[in-house]
Amino acid sequence: MFSRSVYSANNSRNGFKGSNFLAALFLLPVAFIVTVSAQAQGPAEHQTAVVGQGHTNALVGSLTSFDTDGDNALNIGDYARAQMVFSERIKNLGKDKKGSFAEVGLRAGLFEALLWQSNMAAAAPELKRIHKVLDPLTASSTEHDKEQVNLLTARVLDAQSWLEEGQGQREQAIETLKRAIALLKIDGVHSHETWRLVTCMGHLASLYAGMGGYNQASQLLQDALTYAKNSPSIAPLNIADIEEQLGSMLFKQGLAAEANQHFAIALAMDNATGAVQRRYSPKPYWLCPTYTYTEGSPWSSRSFQDGLQRKRITLDAVAVEAVAVRDNSAQGKGKVVKVALTVLNRSRGPLEFMGKKPEFIAMTPKAVMATMIEPLKLADSVEKKAQSKAKWVRFWGQDATQTLTSTYINPPAYGYGFGGFYPPVMSYGGTIPTVMRNGNMTTMMTQVPDYAAQQRAMEKARAIEDDAKAYAEQIRSQSLGPCDINPGATISGAIFFQLDDANKAGACIVRIPVGDATFEFNFDKLAGN
C-alpha cells in the first residue's frame, strides 16, 4: 500500500512515510514507496476532532471531509475498510448529490484508499471520475463556493501527485504539486489545511532532491518548517518529520553540523512519545513515530557481513538491525524474500516485538507491497511441494529404459516375404522391437531397463526431499513472531515475504514494529542469497 509520508524521507507520519523522499535521500531509482500501516491521507484537522486525540486543531470539520467513518479508517491505515465505506457511500448517493461537492469528497476518499493500497489500476480511472465532476464545479463556482472548490481541488491534486510519481511521471507530479501549493497558500485555504500545505511542500522537496536539487529542497523544507511551527493544527511528530527531512538534506549538502541540530530535535520529539516502550494500538498517523535509517543521523549505522549490507538503528531503549535477502534457492523459486533481524532491548522493561505485521516494499522496478508469509506454513508448503515433485521424478524415473541396437546380415529366406525374417521378440515392457531392413542388413532396436538412470532418478528424488526438509527446518528454526523481549535480551532470526519476480526487485524498504513505534530500513538493492 502507499503510505503517505508527509514530511520526511525518514519518518512516516503525515503521508507517505519514507516515500519518494527516501528515494531522493538515498539515491534510489524510484522515488516512491508503499506501506501498510500508519499513514493516511485525509484532513488532519477533521480527523483529530473525530478521533479525539492529539494536537490542538484550528479547524473542526474540514470542508474536504464528507464521511467521518471513512476518514477515520484512512487515518489509522485501514485502507481496505476505507475503500468499502467510500464505495458504499457513493453507491447510495442520492440523485440530488450527484455532481456535487459531496460526490467529489467521497470519490477523493475512495481514490486515496485505492492509492494507498497501491491499486493503481483502480485508482487511475477513479481520478478521471473525480475530475469529471470537479472540473464543471470549478468552472461554474461562485465566490461563495470558491474556498471549498480550492480545498477540494488541492486535496485531489495532492493525491494525484503521488499517482503521477508512481507512474513515473515525475515532471507532471512537480507541476501538480505546484498547483496544489498555490491553492493552499490562498488566504482561508491555508488556515484550513496547513497540514496539507506542509505535506505538499515536503513532497515537492523530495522530488527536487531526487533530481539533485538539494538547495531547492532545503528552502522548501525551511518554509514548510516555518508554516508548521506557526500552526496549532500541526502535531509535534509532524514537525519532527520536517526536522529530520531537513537534516537529511543538509547532510547531503555537506552541512553535517547544521544537519545534526535538526536530527537532534527530531529524535527528541520522537523519543518524547515513549512509543517504543508502549504496546501497539491502532491510532492516527500523527501519533505514531517512525525511526528511519538515515545516512548522517546519529542513530543510524551500517556494516558488511558475509557480503551483505546490514543496517542498524540504535536508540537508548532499543537497537534494531536488518538485512533483506532474495531467496534464489530452488525452494524459493525467486518469490521469497528473507529479512534477517536482530533486536536488542536496551531498556529496563519488556518491549513488544511485532505488535502489528512488518512490511516489505519493493521500490524498483515498480512499487509493490510484498505479502508476509507465516513461517510454519511456508515450511510446510516447501516440504509438500518437494514431496510432490519427488513423486513425479520417481514415477517417470522408475521405468527409465535405454535402446539396445543390434545389426545383422539377413539369413536365408524364412517365413513370409522376400528374404524372410526373424520371429518378433518382445522387449522390455512388452513392446515389440523396431526392425529396419536395408538390403541384406537388418537393424533391430529393443528397449531394455536403464538401471543407472533409474538409480539417478531415485537419488534425485531423495535429494529434492532432503534439500526441502533442510530448508524447511531452517525456516522453522530462524522464524520470528510476535513476542516480548526481556530487558537486556536479544532476539535474532528472520521473517519471510512472498514477492513475485523477486529476482527483478532492486531498491526496497523494510518496516519493523517495536512497541508502538516503527523502524524503517531502506536498501538500494535486494541482496541475493
The three-class DSSP label of residue 170 is: helix
238-297 per-position pLDDT tens digit: 899 899 999 999 999 999 999 999 999 999 999 999 999 999 998 887 788 999 998 889
pLDDT of residue 18: 36
**Sequence-separated contacts (24+) of 122-126 with Cβ below 8 Å:** 123/163, 124/163, 124/167
Domain boundaries, the chain: 20-286, 300-373+483-528, 378-472
Give the whole-angstrom CA distance, residue 335 versus residue 503: 8
pLDDT of residue 330: 56
pLDDT of residue 174: 96
Smallest CA-to-CA distance from 19 within 156, 116, 133 is with 116
pLDDT band at 332 (very low <50, low <70, confident <90, very high): low
The three-class DSSP label of residue 517 is: strand
pLDDT of residue 426: 56
Whether pLDDT at 68 is above 50: yes
* Cα dihedral across residues 360, 364, 368, 372: positive or negative: negative
Whether pLDDT at 395 is above 80: yes
Query: Which amino acid does the sequence have at 88?
Result: E
pLDDT of residue 20: 35
Inter-helix orientation angle 101-116/120-140, to 10°: 160
Q: How far is CA 174 from CA 14, 116, 390, in A?
A: 19, 19, 55
Give the whole-angstrom CA distance, residue 170 versus residue 515: 36
Question: What are the phi and psi torsion angles at 518 (to 5°)?
Answer: -130, 140
The three-class DSSP label of residue 390 is: helix
Q: Which helix (H) or strand (E) holds 376?
A: helix 375-397
Q: Which helix (H) or strand (E) holds 405?
A: strand 401-409
Beta strand 401-409 pairing with 441-449: antiparallel
pLDDT of residue 429: 59
CATH T-level topology, domain 300-373+483-528: Immunoglobulin-like (2.60.40)
pLDDT of residue 263: 95
137-186 per-position pLDDT tens digit: 888 888 888 888 888 999 999 999 999 988 888 999 999 999 999 999 98
94-112 per-position pLDDT tens digit: 888 888 889 999 999 999 9
Report pTM. 0.73
Whether pLDDT at 312 is above 90: yes
pLDDT of residue 29: 27
CATH T-level topology, domain 20-286: 1.25.40
Give the whole-angstrom CA distance, residue 250 versus residue 14: 21
DSSP 465-506: HHHHHHHHHHHHHHB--SEEEPTT-EEEEEEEEE-TTGGG--
Question: What are the phi and psi torsion angles at 381 (to 5°)?
Answer: -65, -40
Number of neighbours of residue 518 by Cβ within 10 angstroms: 29
In this structure, are residues 442 and 370 in contact, taking their beta carbons and an 8 Å threshold? Answer: no
pLDDT of residue 155: 93
Whether pLDDT at 226 is above 70: yes
- Average pLDDT for residues 213-225, to the nearest whole number? 95
In this structure, are residues 511 and 358 in contact, taking their beta carbons and an 8 Å threshold? Answer: yes
Residues 6+ apart with CB under 8 A from 203: 15, 16, 19, 20, 21, 158, 161, 162, 177
Give the whole-angstrom CA distance, residue 311 versus residue 320: 8
Show the CA angle centred on residue 291, arms to residues 81 and 361, nearest 5°: 50
pLDDT band at 376 (very low <50, low <70, confident <90, very high): confident
Whether pLDDT at 405 is above 60: yes
- The answer to whether the peptide bond before residue 298 is cis (omega within 30 degrees of 0) is no
Give the whole-angstrom CA distance, residue 452 versus residue 456: 6
Give the whole-angstrom CA distance, residue 217 versus residue 245: 10
Whether pLDDT at 446 is above 90: no
Smallest CA-to-CA distance from 372 within 229, 506, 497, 238 is with 497
Smallest CA-to-CA distance from 293 within 274, 317, 319 is with 319
How many percent of the chain have pLDDT more than 90? 42
Whether pLDDT at 511 is above 70: yes
Residues 6+ apart with CB under 8 A from 224: 7, 197, 198, 201, 202, 205, 242
Give the cell for residue 398: 522408475
Give the whole-angstrom CA distance, residue 458 versus residue 209: 59
pLDDT of residue 63: 54
Give the whole-angstrom CA distance, residue 78 versus residue 80: 6
Q: How far is CA 152 from CA 62, 196, 225, 252, 337, in A?
A: 10, 11, 24, 35, 40
pLDDT of residue 213: 93
